[in-house]
């Protein structure tokens, strides 16, 4: 079953669950709308990799908004976004641990023979396809910066 089919099935189930599935239903509808808008913009039907990109983007948007809501002292909105992220993560592949990310970064640094932070672009170009959708970009960036010398 493709991710789009799974989203459709889960959306139908959330509709049947009425009140209990209200948040889940709204999150799935938002994601499906983002997918549909992307398909219309690019004039093609998305495959699972492209759907994963949309899901990762939705999680990132919510994380960024959470920071703003924390600064604005809105714990109610922070909690809602956390719940939405939990729902979205069900559709993403299992996230890599920091140790695994460190190993992949070390391999990428050896592969590219990068030494300084100025060569970070080469390392990221090799690394990102390996961690795409499975690791937070900020964490990957921080680990690369830490392991490369100034």
Q: What is the pLDDT of residue 93?
A: 86
The helix/strand/coil state of 56 is: helix
Mean pLDDT by 10 residues, the chain (150 residues): 92 87 92 95 92 90 92 93 93 88 91 88 88 82 83
Q: What is the pLDDT of residue 19?
A: 77
CA atoms of 141 and 40, how far apart (whole Å): 32
Domains in the chain (CATH in brackets) are 3-89 (1.10.1510.10), 98-147 (1.10.10.410)
Give the model confidence (pLDDT) of 2-23 as tens digits: 899 999 999 999 999 887 779 9
Q: What is the pLDDT of residue 150?
A: 55
Of 99, 18, 22, 89, residue with least CA distance to 56:
89
Q: What is the DSSP string of 30-46?
A: HHHHHHHHHHHHHTS--
Q: What is the pLDDT of residue 45?
A: 94
CA atoms of 94 and 131, how far apart (whole Å): 11
Q: What is the pLDDT of residue 94?
A: 86
CA atoms of 23 and 2, how far apart (whole Å): 22
């Amino acid at each position: 079953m493709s991710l789009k089919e799974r989203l459709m099935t889960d959306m139908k189930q959330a509709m049947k669950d009425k009140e209990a599935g209200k948040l889940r239903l709204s999150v799935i509808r938002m994601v499906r709308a983002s997918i549909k808008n992307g398909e219309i913009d690019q004039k093609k039907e998305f495959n699972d990799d492209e759907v994963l990109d949309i899901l990762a983007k939705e999680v990132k948007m919510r994380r960024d908004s959470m920071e703003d809501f924390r600064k604005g002292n809105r714990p109610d909105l922070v909690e809602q976004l956390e719940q939405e992220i939990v729902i979205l993560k069900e559709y993403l592949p299992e996230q890599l641990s920091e140790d695994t990310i460190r190993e992949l970064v070390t391999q990428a640094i050896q592969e590219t023979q990068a030494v300084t932070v100025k060569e970070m672009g080469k390392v990221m170009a090799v690394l990102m396809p390996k961690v795409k959708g499975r690791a937070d970009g900020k964490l990957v960036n921080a680990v690369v910066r830490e392991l490369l010398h100034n």
